[in-house]
Each structure stands twice: as structure tokens, then as C-alpha cells.
């Protein structure tokens, strides 16, 4: 969450422009935080199309409420929060939290990950996107965005137990998908990638 702290002054200038509803400033700010925000959206979305929709919903909210942003605080977390909340809202209707494991998509997952050299961004993203919205949201919030179960429970309107349970199921499912990937990789690929995968599986430290 520490992307692009450097040009803080420029960003503040953009923000002031956005307060005045200036198109150029809005575009500059959008462009500046595009990668960061889109990264969040993609993790929470089913696919890129949804992600782009969430992204623009989020930025739209941000621009409309830009006057509420306090310049003394960092802009990035503020924006990130808006984007994350927008993403959660986007799938709120689909967030059917349950305690059972849903593995119906298992085989599809294996196929979608057939071609890669290593577990690059897009592969990991594909795995996350294949989770159901409920699992994915909790996993994103906990594992990547660093929220505690208490916060997640509050944000999603679920119990802490459900949050923990969903996180567990999400991990389980990701693990299965990784295994499937691994199996494929054994057939096609040689040592290096497999070693990485095995490391994951064997709980040794990566990188």
C-alpha cells in the first residue's frame, strides 16, 4: 500500500484541481492511481470488465467527494478504501456467505491455468478471480489488504466466525487450484516453476 509516495506535491495539486472539478486534474489523478486502483478492483472482481466498472464507480465517488478528503492525510489509503468499499458493494448482492465448501468450479480452474512460466501476476489473479465473491472478498480483505476479522465482519455485515470460515475455505480452494496447476505443470514444465509450487505446498518460505 505504499505505491508512489514520491510525487506527493503533484498529487496535492491534482487534488485541488479535482476539487474545482477540472477535467485535466481529474484525468491526471486517475492516471496516476490507475494501476493501484485497478489492482484492487481486479482482485475483487470476477473479470476485467467488472473490475473496470468498479474502478470507475470508485473514482466517480472519489471525485464527487474529493472535497471531503483531508489533505493532511495520505491520499492513497483514502482512495484505496473507497475503491475497496465500492468493490464490496458491487458484489454485495452476490455475497452469500456460507460455511460449506463450494468446489464445483474446480476442474475449470485447472484448465484456465494451463499456460504459464511461473506464477505471475495474471495467474494469481486468475486464481483469485475464480473464487466465489464471498470467499474472494474475505480473502482479499484479510490476506492482501490486511484487515482483521473484526473489521471484515463489520464491513460485510457478517459474524467474525463466518469471516474466519470463509477465509479458511478460500485458502483451501486456492490450494486446490494451485495443486491442479501444479499437476499440469509437472506434465509440461520443468524444475523451477515446480519447485516454487512445491515450496508453497510444503510451506517453506518463498522468495
Site residues, other proteins (CB under 8 A): 1, 3, 21-23, 26-27, 30-31, 34-36, 38-39, 42-43, 52, 55-56, 59-60, 63, 119-121, 124-125, 127-128, 139, 142-144, 167-168, 171, 174-175, 178, 200, 203-207
Q: Residue written as cell 486502483?
A: 37
Residue whose CB is less far from other proteins, 19 or 144: 144
Distance CA 115, CA 185 (A): 9
Residue whose CB is less far from other proteins, 60 or 186: 60
**Is residue 84 a contact partner of residue 145, using CB atoms and an 8 Å limit?**
yes
Distance CA 160, CA 153 (A): 5
Distance CA 201, CA 179 (A): 8
Helix, strand, coil fractions of the chain, as percent rounded to 5 = 70, 0, 30
Closest CB 58 distance from other proteins, rounded Å: 10
Closest CA to 131 of 163, 175, 99: 175
Residue whose CB is less far from other proteins, 23 or 72: 23
Residue whose CB is less far from other proteins, 34 or 186: 34
Amino acid at each position: 500500500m505504499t505505491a508512489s509516495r514520491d510525487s506527493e506535491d503533484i498529487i496535492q495539486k491534482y487534488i485541488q484541481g479535482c476539487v474545482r472539478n477540472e477535467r485535466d486534474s481529474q484525468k491526471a489523478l486517475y492516471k496516476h492511481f490507475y494501476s493501484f486502483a485497478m489492482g484492487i478492483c481486479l482482485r475483487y472482481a470476477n473479470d476485467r470488465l467488472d473490475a473496470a466498472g468498479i474502478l470507475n464507480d470508485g473514482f466517480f465517488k472519489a471525485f464527487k467527494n474529493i472535497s471531503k478528503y483531508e489533505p493532511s492525510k495520505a491520499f492513497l489509503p483514502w482512495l484505496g478504501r473507497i475503491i475497496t468499499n465500492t468493490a464490496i458493494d458491487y458484489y454485495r448482492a452476490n455475497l452469500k456467505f456460507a460455511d460449506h465448501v463450494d468446489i464445483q468450479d474446480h476442474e475449470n480452474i485447472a484448465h484456465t491455468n494451463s499456460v504459464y512460466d511461473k506464477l505471475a501476476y495474471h495467474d494469481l489473479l486468475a486464481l483469485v478471480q475464480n473464487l466465489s465473491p464471498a470467499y474472494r472478498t474475505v480473502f482479499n480483505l484479510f490476506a492482501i489488504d490486511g484487515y482483521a476479522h473484526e473489521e471484515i465482519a463489520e464491513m460485510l455485515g457478517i459474524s467474525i466466525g463466518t469471516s474466519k470460515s470463509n477465509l479458511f475455505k478460500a485458502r483451501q480452494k486456492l490450494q486446490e487450484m494451485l495443486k491442479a496447476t501444479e499437476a499440469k505443470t509437472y506434465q509440461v514444465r520443468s524444475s523451477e516453476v515446480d519447485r516454487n509450487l512445491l515450496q508453497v505446498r510444503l510451506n517453506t518460505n518463498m522468495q
